[in-house]
Amino acid sequence: MKPTIKMKSSFCAFIAAMIIGIGLNSATCRAQGFGGGEMPKGAEKIIAMFTELLQHRFTPTIKSASVGSATVGKPISVSVRAAHEDERSEDKVAAVEVYYSTDGGKWFQGPVALKQSEKDAELWSGSIPAIAKSGKVIFYPRVIDTYGNVTVEIPCKVSSEDFPPAADGCMAFAAADAAPYDDPPGLVDDNYDIWGIRVGMDDSKFHININVEGSIYKGNLQQQMISAYTALVIDTQKLYEIEDIMSFVMPSGEKEPKAPDFAHMLIYAPMAKIMGGNFSDCGVFRMKDKSPMIDAANMKCDSSGPDLFMSLDKKILNGNMRNSFTMVGGMTGYMSAGGSSPMPIFQDFARATRVSFRERSFNVN
């Protein structure tokens, strides 16, 4: 079955909606019946979601992490200082945990839950269980706030030679969606219900692993349905400076704006190629000659069962983002062109994760 004109229109609207309307100013979308500034049906929910995320965009800051004396066979004290530094934040630190590895990062144990001090709200303390032999221990803190945002410091680089890095211990846990993680099937389809996200990086790549309750679903051409799994990678400081989400994502004026180097929307839409044009199955959203495209040049994807891996070349990130940035999402959904009008169906989204690379270790004697 070949894609119909309505299906092409729907896919264009769907991608536009998932990018919160950026593509609506493109000549391609207008040619398919979506005039500049017109909002595709179903986009209101996505805009409302991004407005909520904007309100809660301030992630916790890890101010310090330290361990006490480390002796073979004895528990090791560990403490972390964490807080929201931006006074506009409505959220507070809700939990702090630590993960640790005794084999160079091949496998991390944890989480070790820390307890908040009654006298100092920023201080969280606990103990790593006794370690049976001497040697170097790698560890990292993970901080969760009351909205579900996460700040995590990755202590080691993904070393897997093969893609995807499915079993690599240096892939750390990012933010998931709001509890309950198992959304009711009538609310979120299992194939789009995010259960967990991991993040990692090496010298040249940033890796994301999105895990869903069901399976990563390509879609169904017969039913005129195409899936999309996305994540937004953005400069943390720029995210904090944004005051109006619409002014950030919706271009204004007749001239096409220059693509920002501080925000990149990563997209995996397994059946996008059948739409033709500049759409790839896996890539970074771009505008080219006023038309939307999914640029595959700096990204690759792999999906199997419930897991999707996206690997982004760090060379497209600005200097501030090479080792630290915020990831909004994943986000999941699909487009449906089977009814009387094209319909982008938004399904699930994860909270924000501030990702940094910072080596932390101690020696057990």
List pLDDT tens digits, range 287-330.
777 677 788 999 999 999 999 999 999 998 888 888 899 998 88
Token reading at 77 = 């004290």
Dihedral of CA atoms 325, 326, 332, 336 in degrees, nearest 10, equals -80
Q: How far is CA 271 from CA 29, 77, 187, 222, 286, in A?
A: 18, 51, 24, 12, 18
Find where tokens 């398919």 sit.
Answer: 32
Give the H/E segment covering residue 152: strand 150-154
pLDDT computed for residue 252 by the predictor = 43
Dump pLDDT digits (tens) for 160-181. 778 999 999 999 999 987 665 5
Residues with Cβ within 8 Å of 231's Cβ and at least 6 positions away in sequence, in order, are 208, 210, 265, 266, 310, 327, 328, 329, 330, 331
Q: Which domains does the chain have, with CATH numbers?
A: 5-57+175-351 (no CATH), 61-157+359-364 (2.60.40.10)
Distance CA 159, CA 170 (A): 8
Angle at 22 between CA 210 and CA 351, to 5 degrees: 30
**Could you tell me which residues are beta bridge partners of residue 81?**
64, 123
345 has a pLDDT exceeding 50: yes
Q: Which residues lie closer than 8 Å to 21 by C-beta, 6 or more apart?
A: 39, 43, 47, 249, 250
Measure the N-to-C terminal CA separation of the chain; round to a whole number of Å: 66
- Cβ neighbours of residue 118 closer than 8 Å, sequence gap 6 or more: none
Looking at residue 47, what is its pLDDT?
67
Cα separations in angstroms, 334 against 31, 92, 171, 207, 257: 22, 33, 27, 23, 27
pLDDT, tens only, 100-137: 999 999 999 999 999 999 999 999 999 999 999 999 99
